[in-house]
Structure formats: structure tokens, C-alpha cells
Structure 1
Amino acid sequence: MDPTQYRENRLKCLATEKTEGKNPYPHKFVVSLSINEYIDKYGGMGNGEHLEDVSVSLAGRIMQKRSSGAKLVFYDLHDDGSKVQVMADARNSDMDEAEFSKFHSNVKRGDIVGITGFPGKSKRGELSIFPKTFKLLSHCLLMMPKQKSAAAADNANLKKQVWTPGSPRNPETYILKDQETRYRLRHLDLMLNNEVREIFKTRCEIIWYIRRFLKDLRFLEVETPMMNMIAGGAAARPFVTHHNELNMRLSMRIAPELNLKKLIVGGLSRVYEIGKQFYEGIDLTHNPEFTTCEFYMAYADYNDLMEITEQMLSGMVKELTNGSYKIKYHANGIDKDPIEIDFTPPFRRIDMIEELEKMAGLSIPKDISSEEANKYLKDACLKFDIKCRPPETTARLLDKLVGHFLEETCVNPVFIINHPEIMSPLAKWHRSKPGLTERFELFINKFEVCNAYTELNDPVVQRQRFAEQLKDRQSGDDEAMALDETFCTALEYGLPPPPTGGWGLGIDRLTMLLTDSQNIKEVILFPAMKPQE
């Protein structure tokens, strides 16, 4: 049938009901059990057993309809990832046979219905509900994409998911396959592809776990502004907006770091925030708005934070996978064999400069901030055919070399530690290695997932670091940090020493790993999309 004609026919039916004085969109239907609860309560019944003296009310969306004559209609009723069969028999209905036949001829796939009836199992052992009353609650006016078979919709058993976190997914089983349609019409994607629902349930589980973990460590969850005069706390290009009432230019935040550290100065010794950050960039692992968790902990250094990170992530994986530290991930696409990623603690630690020199056969000048070091790294990139877009600052060159040589070795979780000061303007200098900082980045499957460091608490040095960043901005690096005078002033009141530890985790990338997703759009309900032509 022509989809346009289908919609027109359904609209005409609705109009007819309204002219007859009927309300096709009831205000209320009382549900006594969810489908999940129904399965739990009555799933143990014997084959062919019926409980005709029990009355249950269920609601959900019709995803399959199969007629067996005018007096018997079978439906698959879905809700929240679970399914139950509906056996609509005219003999059990509160309608006479003519009404029954007319009513069910108008029930279409995609309609949301409310059913009151008794539980039972078919002779083949399929849990069902046998309706006495059957109400249309909300009409699906658009033609639903077709499934290959009822078996494809059934997913074997929707109560017990085929896919669980940490195991490979199979998008080939999706009813709706076109990615562009799936991301733009997420409501349809969730309706038709049950594994997609599980991805976002897992995302929620990840966030819930982080909140529980940090609560147990006595952290307070806080909120900080998303619009600021200066977008500080990370190296990135921010989005700029304008406040008409105040006639102010504002930047969408790229990190909550500076505001959170002000709270540490104020005496809130353990704070965290889970929320959105915004900056330019879109590809398989970047979305212009994304979710992070950042926490700041007084009297902790980067060694403490590495231990906390190991405990958090290994415990999270073990909980999500029901007891394993290992997950399967399709690093090279679903048509390749998945790799195994092992979160068993402790995680490997590698010193950035030492390991880079060893793997690349380099001898980087000790004064990394010198012109000599910059020229040496330019030559190294040229030698290994590593491209670095202008401006070729020492920090950018080092980042490219580390990406080429070190990050490629980080499949299981690895801490790359002790970054140079020129790459880490907010991190405290290393206590025993001049020119370096007490910082780490956690890489898993070759991508950065976590970034943390012992926080710089000397306001004089912080201003110097910002000044050095300003030079990079003037040379064309639009991702270099700007000077935030209000933050430097806050530091002058004293950031708690022994040092404060600061930590940030990308929720989206971690969710990608734990749901076997190769595109960040798979784990964001409404990802950024180019306008349709």
C-alpha cells in the first residue's frame, strides 16, 4: 500500500469516530501490570493452562498481527523491551461477533492498545493474555517498516535479551537498518530495534554506577554554568553565543573544571558533575555536544586517582557483565572477529616521553619547551610521515607522535603518564622529573577515555602557564586555553595542599566500548546530524 494513502485512510477512520461522538484518544487506561511484571508473575504456568478467574490489564504497542478467521486474532504486544502474545477470541470478548470483527479489522501494526483479560498459555507454551476488553489508546497513522518474519520481531525471547553488555552486538538483526534513518528518527529506531533500547539502558547503568561509586566515596554532585565568559578547562574550540539581555558574548563550556576547582577552594572537598560539554568536531568518536563526568578531590594526587579509576572501571565492567572483567569489541567493524578487552586491575602504566623515545628511536631534547625541541619534533614527524596541521606547536607535534606510536598499543586499559608541562597547563609539575607534570590519560582500544592530574595550585605558575598558552593562541592555535583571571584569583585563596586531584571521563566513549558500538551516534539518543537536502 502507498504510505501516503495509508495515512489518509487512518485519518479518515479517526474523523469518522469523532463525528460519531467517540474519543479515539482516551484520557486514561489503568494498567495493573507491566509486560515485564506479567511475564515474571505468570511465565511459570503450564502449557495450555488458563486462569479465567484472574483479571489483568496490560498496555503496549502492537508489533505483529495474525488473523485466524474472523473470530480469532493473534497480536504481539510489546512494551519496554518485552513481548507477550494476545489471543483475541470473540468467545471471550465483551463485543458481539460483528463488533469484534469490525473492531479488529481497524487495529493496525504500531497501534498502542489497552487490554483487560485473563492470563494463560497456549498449547505450545507461549504465554498469552486472553482479552475480555480491548481498547485502542493511540493510533499509529504511519506505515511501520516491515519485518522479514514474526521470528525476527520475536528476538527469541525479549524478556531475556539476546545481547548483554560486554558481548558483541549484531546490527544485522535490526529491522530498521539504515543508519541515517535510525539516527534521525530515534523513536522509530527504539520501537523496532530492541538492541538499541539495551544500549541506552546500559548507558544509564554506567551513569548510575558512577554516581553510586562516588557517593560511597562521599562526593557531592553539583552543577556549574554551561555558558561562561571564558571557555576554560580544556584545549578545544568552543561554541560562541550571545546574551541579548546583558549584551554579552558567551562561550558554551568545554569543561566544568575551573568552576569545580573554585568549589574545592571554597571548602567542598569532594565534588563531581555529570553533564554536557560542547565543542567543534564531529566524527566517529566526537559529537559537538557530549557527556562527561568530572570530579575533584582534595588531598589526593594522580597516583590516588589511578587507583580510583582502576577500581571504578573494573568494578563497573564486572557488574555489567555479571562477573567478568573482559568484554568483546568489534574494533574493525562487525564483519571482523571481535577483540577481547581485559579490565582486570591493575592497568598498565607507561611514561609518555620515555616510551616514545624507546618506541620511535628518538632522543628528545630535555628542555621540551625550547626551539631546539620543536625543530627536533618537526623533523621526527617528517621522518615518520606524520601530518600535523598548523600551527606546529611542540604540544601538537608531541600529541601526533604519541598518537602514532603509543596510543596504537593501548587495547587493554593503559595509563599514559607524566605529560610535559607544555601539554598540561592546569596540571602540577612533576615532583621529581623537571619539565613534566603529574598527569595521566587512560586509553582503551586506542582511544582516550579518561584524563586526570594532580592540580596546579600555585597561582603565580598558573598565570605563567596561561601566558604561554596565550602565545600559542596568537600564533594561530585556536584550541589553546585563554587566561581566566577569576580562576587565578580564586587560586590565590588557596587550593588545598597536599594537592587536589582532578579527573574527567567521557561517558559516550565508555558507553561505546561497553556496548560494542563503533560510532558515537549509536550511544547518543539525538546525535548531531547534517541538515537533510
Structure 2
Amino acid sequence: MAAEATGTHKDPVTGEMISKTELKRREKQREKDAKKAEKAAAAPQAASTKPTGPNEDDLNPNQYFELRSRAVQKLKETQSPNPYPHKFEVTKSITAFIEEYGPEGLIAPGQKLEGTTVRLAGRIHNIRSSGSKLKFYDLHGEGKHVQILANVRDASDEASFTATQQIFRRGDVVGVVGTPSRSQKGELSISPSEMVLLAPNLHQLPSGHFGLKDQETRYRKRYLDLILSDDTRRIFITRSKVINYLRRYLDNLGFLEVETPMTSILAGGANAKPFVTHHNDLNLDLYLRVAPELYLKELTVGGLDRVYEIGRVFRNEGIDLTHNPEFTLCEFYMAYADMYDLMEITENLLEGMVKSINNGSTVMKYHPEGKDGKELVMDFKTPWKRYDMIETLEENTGVKFPPGETLHTEAANKFLRDLCVKHNVDCSEPRTNARLLDKLVGEFIEPLCISPAFIVGHPQVMSPLAKQHRSRPGLCERFEGFVCGKEFCNAYTELNDPFEQRLRFEEQARQKEQGDDEAQGVDETFVDALEHGLPPTAGWGMGIDRLVMFLTDSPNIKEVLLFPAMKPLETPANTSANAPAPSGQV
């Protein structure tokens, strides 16, 4: 009723909300496509050497969809067979089948392993015919594939077997009951006595051996990308291994995994612009978390001396090759430790992780996008190089920086502005001391960090939650880990002085009032927790998505996110009267 009131209707095929006129136009076009497809199906073939029936690769996507949909609807009506059965008993995965029956000498070419019956399931990728009674299928699953050698003489019911063969198309999910065998050419196969359609694919499966070529389609239809690309599957298996290794490493060090809120009244724990949402029952605007830091430190105050969390965080920032507005972060807090302990942990963690996914080697290669194909070689072997921020900036700019204890002043701001102008380093407003320093580091130090390295000696003005340096006034005890010129981790000796923390929060709040929407406000709950006593503690955070980029040679962060943030496609549904208005909320 709501759709009719606004003059829009749901397209039964695409699910879009469109106008009545557009719906009628599409229905007429589909009828026309279906008739063309049926006509093509009925047309005789010119050469007797070609199989009868239409060449479905010559149909356009709409024609193929209409023809296939009608065929499957007919199967649903007749239930001969049911195209969507409830269950198929699988006795062996394709991977296990290959491992058990693949060894040379077990089955001779042209022979079957008599007396052995297995039940496999997977997706058909290719279909080839050899005469009227023999078909070859490539059955894919778990990143592996095996050949189906479908000979009518092996069928338990010849008529049913032959009829079923006519149903299968590329992309269908099928079940196979048969005997391990090898073709005459020696390829490991399964010779089926029965094949069952488990889920038909209504769309044309793109051909070729290299998966989808269109990048937009790969990101929007990740399921199709995974169907076609073993390399995409490899990336996400590696991602899972990275997270599992990280979790095991921390567990073995006695850390406790916890979960903290995704929404809160204040966005704290990192300098980042938050997303805003609204809680209806409480009638409160809330922020999606930009980091779990403050909650985790509150738990450390409570006596959980080693805690960590792996989860999603949300930052309302730009999207580029290394940034996505939501990403996976690991943070941990370790009581009675400092930044130097965490530098050693970071080196050992990453060296071991790389060895575990790289066949024992610490050397990996990375090919960044837009670098003229230049190959970057990373060596994760410990120890890593360390760059002192101010000292390295002085070396590369040829000027002496103001003393650390004055880097928060107006005079320092003018010095940093002039230095950025001199070296053509762009910094958008607000040009705070912290943002100007960060831009200079990005220009002069980060490009030096190809193999993993640490940047240390951060000015206090850049780190409102870090403890002041024990011997260098104006600096703090913090390090950032970089690889291929990009940050992947950040850590510091935690500030545990509630008096100093309140002053820093108030300074951040002033910056926020001046227009810095990435600055934090005053979190009274966190200050109260510090007033109960946070032991000397070190904290650490790592962006998992960005690290996985480097470990899988993926030049774009979208490659390592199953469902990256994408602009919606321009469709009638986006412009209809009932479409939601753009908003800053999520």
C-alpha cells in the first residue's frame, strides 16, 4: 500500500522500487527477450557437427535469465526434479577427495576404483561433450576442482541420468554420487552413477580463467568474485590466518579477549571524525566508536591486567587506497609495561606471523598501485629500523626545530606553517600544530619506511593520551609502525595521571571548538576511572585490513574487505519519492 501511495512498485526481478511506467516497460522488454530466446532455442543448427539447441553464450544477459528462469520455474511446478532440494548427503569434500585419491599409481588411466562410492558437491564451471553419451564437467569447491566424467553407461538409471544432464548449466551447484576414477589422459575424476541439481544459477557465469575483470563488479558482487577467482579466495584465507595468529599470540601471552560497546555518548580513544546515530528509546544521539581504547583502559583499572579486542571501528573519513570508513582494529593493553616492551612484542609478532603465512621466509614483495610497477621488498626480520621524528625531520629539511616543550605554542605553529609552505606540503584547515607535524612526517619520514620500521619521539601535542617522555621535555613515549610508507600500528606508554589527562582533554575540547572535528572531548567517566588508579600500562593498536594489504600484495584496501564501502549505483530506486534523504547519520 505504501508503494502505491507514492507511485512506486517493486521490480520482482531486481527488487528495485520503480515507477509503474518503468515497471511496465521492463515487463514488455522481458517478454520480448524471452520470445527471442525461445526462438533461438527452436532454431535448427546450420552444421550437423554442432549440438542441437541454442548457443547460450550468444544470448544477452536478459535473454539468458528469462530462458533459464522459465526452465527452473517449470521444474518447480513439475518437481521432476526439484531444483531446490532440502538436503544432499556429502561424504567427502573436494579437497579431501583429491588428497585421498589423487596420488599417482592408486588409479590407472582409464580405470575406476571399483567398490568405492563417494558423494561430492560443488559448483560446475565448465561443461564439455564428447558424443551424445559422455560429458565432462569441472566441479569446483574449497578453492579446488575435480573432473566429473559423466558416462551414461555408469548411470544407475539411464533415462533419468540423461534427462538430468540436459538441465545442468555453468554455475549450477550439483551433487555427485560416483566412483573415483581417472580419464584416459590420466586426470583424476569421479564417474557418477547419479547427479543431482542442488541450486541452479539463473545468470550467465562469466567465462575465462582469470575471474571478473571489472573491478566495480568484483567489489559489489563479492560472491561472484569468489566463485570465479581463486586469488580472491587466497586473500581472505590469508586474512583469516593473520587474525587467528594474532589471537593465538596474545592468548599465549596471557591476554584476555573482551568486547566493548560499539556506540557511546562520547567518541574518544583516537583523533578521528565519528559517525553519528540516534537511539530512539533513549532519545540520544550516539557516536559509533572510533576506537575501544578508553573502555579497555577502564578494564585495566579494574584489574584485568592484559586485555585485547579485535573488532570493527568507524571513522567518518575519506575513502582511498588505504582507508575505508569502517575497518578492523586490534587493541591491547598491558599493565606494568611500557612502549619499549611493546616494540619488542610488535617485532616478534609480525616476524612470526609473516613466517607462518610465507613458508618460513621474512621477505615479502608488494606492488603499490600507481607506482609505475615499482616493486617494494619488505623484510620483517628483527630488529627493525627506528626513526626519531624531530631529528629525522631536521636532517631532511635542513632546519632546526623549536625545543620540544614549545611545540604546542603559536610561535611553533608559525614555524610549522612556513616550513610546509617552503616544501609544498599541503595541510587543510584547521592547521593545528599536530596536523602540520603529521603532514611533514608523511612527506619526509614515512616514505623511508619500506621494510617495517618504527617512528618514535612524537611531540606531546600529537598524542593526548600518551605519557610524557621520561627524559625529553615536550615529547611523549609513543611509536608508530610503518611498512611500505603506510602506518599499520600505533602504541604508547599510557598516560595514567588523571590531573594531566583532564588538562589534555580540555585542550582537545578547545581545538574541537576551533573547528577540528577529529579532536576529542572531555570524557568524565574515563577521568574518574583514572582517579581510581591505572597502573603503569602500555597500549597498542593495529589496523588489520591495511596489514593484510601488504601481506597479500593487494594495492587497494577494497581487495581485502569482503564488502567494502561503495557509492550506490544510480538507479530509479535512488531517486524515487520514497528514497531516504542524504544524512550524516548511519
Q: TM-score range by the shorter chain?
A: over 0.9
- Of 145, 168, 175, which aligns to 2:211? 175
Confirm whether residue 459 of structure 1 aligns to residue 498 of structure 2: yes
Deviates most, 304-313 or 24-33: 24-33
Deviations 1:415-451 (A, max 9, x none): 0012111100000000000000000000100000000
- Of 87, 105, 110, which aligns to 2:166? 105
User: 1: CA distance between counterparts of 2:491 and 2:274?
Assistant: 21
Confirm whether residue 31 of structure 1 aligns to residue 90 of structure 2: yes
**Which one-letter code corresponds to 1:530 in the other structure?**
K
Deviation at 1:286, TM superposition (A): 0.6
Confirm whether residue 382 of structure 1 aligns to residue 441 of structure 2: no
Q: Identity across aligned pairs (percent)? A: 57
Residue correspondence of structure 1 range 416-435 to structure 2 within 5 A: 416-435=455-474
Deviation at 1:335, TM superposition (A): 6.4
- The residue aligned with 1:40 is 99
Deviation at 1:360, TM superposition (A): 1.1
Confirm whether residue 76 of structure 1 aligns to residue 138 of structure 2: yes
Asked whether the equivalents of residues 489 and 542 of structure 2 are also in contact (C-alpha less than 8 Å), the reply is yes
Confirm whether residue 479 of structure 1 aligns to residue 537 of structure 2: no
Residue correspondence of structure 1 range 193-342 to structure 2 within 5 A: 193-281=229-317, 282-333=319-370, 336-342=373-379
Asked whether the equivalents of residues 376 and 484 of structure 2 are also in contact (C-alpha less than 8 Å), the reply is no
**Which one-letter code corresponds to 2:264 in the other structure?**
N
Deviation at 1:327, TM superposition (A): 0.2
Asked whether the equivalents of residues 407 and 443 of structure 1 are also in contact (C-alpha less than 8 Å), the reply is yes
- The residue aligned with 1:65 is 127
Deviation at 1:331, TM superposition (A): 2.4
User: 1: CA distance between counterparts of 2:273 and 2:153?
Assistant: 68
Asked whether the equivalents of residues 47 and 124 of structure 1 are also in contact (C-alpha less than 8 Å), the reply is no
Confirm whether residue 120 of structure 1 aligns to residue 216 of structure 2: no
Asked whether the equivalents of residues 270 and 295 of structure 1 are also in contact (C-alpha less than 8 Å), the reply is yes
**Which one-letter code corresponds to 2:449 in the other structure?**
C
**Which one-letter code corresponds to 2:211 in the other structure?**
I
- Larger Cα Rg: Structure 1 or Structure 2? 2
User: 1: CA distance between counterparts of 2:233 and 2:197?
Assistant: 24
Query: Using a 3 Å threshold, how does the CA distance of structure 1 residues 337 and 398 change in structure 2: closer, same or farther?
Result: closer
Confirm whether residue 19 of structure 1 aligns to residue 105 of structure 2: no
Deviations 1:100-159 (A, max 9, x none): 433212210000000010001123221100000110011111111122xxxx3xxxxxxx
TM-score by length of 2: 0.85
- The residue aligned with 1:134 is 195
Name the SS for the 2:512 alignment partner.
helix
- The residue aligned with 1:165 is none
User: 1: CA distance between counterparts of 2:436 and 2:370?
Assistant: 30
Asked whether the equivalents of residues 71 and 100 of structure 1 are also in contact (C-alpha less than 8 Å), the reply is no
Deviation at 1:452, TM superposition (A): 0.2
**Which one-letter code corresponds to 2:263 in the other structure?**
M
Deviations 1:255-287 (A, max 9, x none): 000000000000000000000000112111111
Asked whether the equivalents of residues 164 and 196 of structure 2 are also in contact (C-alpha less than 8 Å), the reply is no
User: 2: CA distance between counterparts of 1:269 and 1:109?
Assistant: 55
Deviations 1:476-521 (A, max 9, x none): 111111111100000000001xx20000000000000000011110
**Which one-letter code corresponds to 1:138 in the other structure?**
A
User: 2: CA distance between counterparts of 1:369 and 1:12?
Assistant: 71
User: 1: CA distance between counterparts of 2:108 and 2:475?
Assistant: 70
- The residue aligned with 1:356 is 393
Asked whether the equivalents of residues 164 and 195 of structure 2 are also in contact (C-alpha less than 8 Å), the reply is no
- Of 22, 44, 64, which aligns to 1:6? 64
Name the SS for the 1:232 alignment partner.
coil
Name the SS for the 1:50 alignment partner.
coil
- The residue aligned with 1:168 is none
Name the SS for the 2:163 alignment partner.
helix
User: 1: CA distance between counterparts of 2:431 and 2:79?
Assistant: 73
Asked whether the equivalents of residues 369 and 556 of structure 2 are also in contact (C-alpha less than 8 Å), the reply is no
- The residue aligned with 2:578 is none
Name the SS for the 1:481 alignment partner.
coil
User: 2: CA distance between counterparts of 1:244 and 1:419?
Assistant: 42
Confirm whether residue 397 of structure 1 aligns to residue 397 of structure 2: no
Name the SS for the 2:500 alignment partner.
helix
Deviation at 1:6, TM superposition (A): 1.6
- Of 171, 174, 187, which aligns to 2:223? 187
**Which one-letter code corresponds to 1:228 in the other structure?**
S
Deviation at 1:29, TM superposition (A): 0.5
Deviation at 1:95, TM superposition (A): 2.5
- Of 46, 50, 54, which aligns to 2:116? 54
**Which one-letter code corresponds to 2:117 in the other structure?**
S
User: 1: CA distance between counterparts of 2:78 and 2:216?
Assistant: 41
Query: Using a 3 Å threshold, how does the CA distance of structure 1 residues 459 and 212 change in structure 2: closer, same or farther?
Result: same
Deviations 1:65-113 (A, max 9, x none): 00111100000000010000000000001222x5443321221000000
- Of 87, 90, 94, which aligns to 2:149? 87
User: 2: CA distance between counterparts of 1:175 and 1:370?
Assistant: 56
Deviations 1:317-339 (A, max 9, x none): 01110110000110245962422
**Which one-letter code corresponds to 2:214 in the other structure?**
D
Deviates most, 443-452 or 279-288: 279-288
User: 2: CA distance between counterparts of 1:237 and 1:344?
Assistant: 36
- The residue aligned with 1:160 is none
**Which one-letter code corresponds to 2:347 in the other structure?**
E
Deviation at 1:46, TM superposition (A): 4.1
**Which one-letter code corresponds to 2:77 in the other structure?**
T
- Of 489, 492, 505, which aligns to 2:531? 492
Deviates most, 287-296 or 327-336: 327-336
Deviation at 1:20, TM superposition (A): 2.2
- The residue aligned with 2:540 is 503
Corresponding pairs, count: 505
User: 2: CA distance between counterparts of 1:58 and 1:332?
Assistant: 40
**Which one-letter code corresponds to 1:517 in the other structure?**
S
Confirm whether residue 470 of structure 1 aligns to residue 509 of structure 2: yes
